[in-house]
Amino acid sequence: MTSYEIVQIDKPDYWARRYFAIPIFIMMLPLCTFLYLKFLKSFEKKWYQNPLFNKFKIVWRILIFTISLSFFGIWTAFTGILATNELIGKQEILQLNAKIIEYRAPKKRKSNRTSQSHYITIYDSNKKEQIELSVNRKFVVGEQFYTRLIKGYWGILYQK
């Protein structure tokens, strides 16, 4: 996967959650059910006297397993959208001159390290739209944002 200096994240994030989340969950449910019942159930140590509790425990674990693997599938769809945006189709170079209307600083993690991504929202007066970008440095709200970006196959803006 390519490392980007600047990348538009709102479109691939929206598409991955909107169009891929439910199909991925539907595909993962029978797969996780099979994997749990065939392989993981044999490692169970504690069984309850009441069979209803045992059934609930099995259903709960299959559901958690399915949700966990679905998150990996959605993340894979997100990165696939970014990769195909860059690798296929015609790439168009744009000169962007916009005003920064929102800035979000990186979040501090529990490990006392901060994320490397800063997030800005810009208003492109030519297209009359707001664009959310992940950038690698701090910006000030109201500052003009001048840069050359590449518009990929899916219309997602990026800069290597």
Q: What is the pLDDT of residue 110?
A: 64
The model's pTM is: 0.80
Amino acid at 45: K
Most distant CA pair in the chain, distance: 68
Question: Residue 70 is inside which H or E element, if any?
Answer: helix 51-87
Considering the domain boundaries, does residue 1 fall inside one? no
Query: What DSSP designation does 65 have?
Result: H
Considering the domain boundaries, does residue 3 fall inside one? no
Residue where one domain finishes, among candidates 29, 61, 87: 87
Reading the block at residue 116, the tokens are: 């490397």
Q: What is the pLDDT of residue 109?
A: 66
Residues 79 and 33 in one domain: yes
Q: How far apart are CA 140 and CA 118, in angstroms?
A: 11
Considering the domain boundaries, does residue 4 fall inside one? no
Residues 100 and 71 in one domain: no
Query: What DSSP designation does 97 have?
Result: E
103: domain range?
92-159
Residue where one domain finishes, among candidates 87, 122, 145: 87
Residue where one domain finishes, among candidates 60, 87, 114: 87
Tally of structural domains, the chain: 2
Residues 137 and 123 in one domain: yes
Q: How far apart are CA 132 and CA 103, in angstroms?
A: 10
Residues 129 and 80 in one domain: no
Sequential pLDDT tens for the chain (160 residues): 567 888 998 899 999 999 999 999 999 999 999 999 998 888 887 777 888 988 899 999 999 999 999 999 999 999 999 999 999 999 999 888 888 999 988 777 666 665 678 899 998 877 788 899 999 888 899 999 889 999 999 999 999 8
Residues 19 and 81 in one domain: yes
Q: Quick one: which of 120, 152, 149 has its CA closest to 133? A: 120
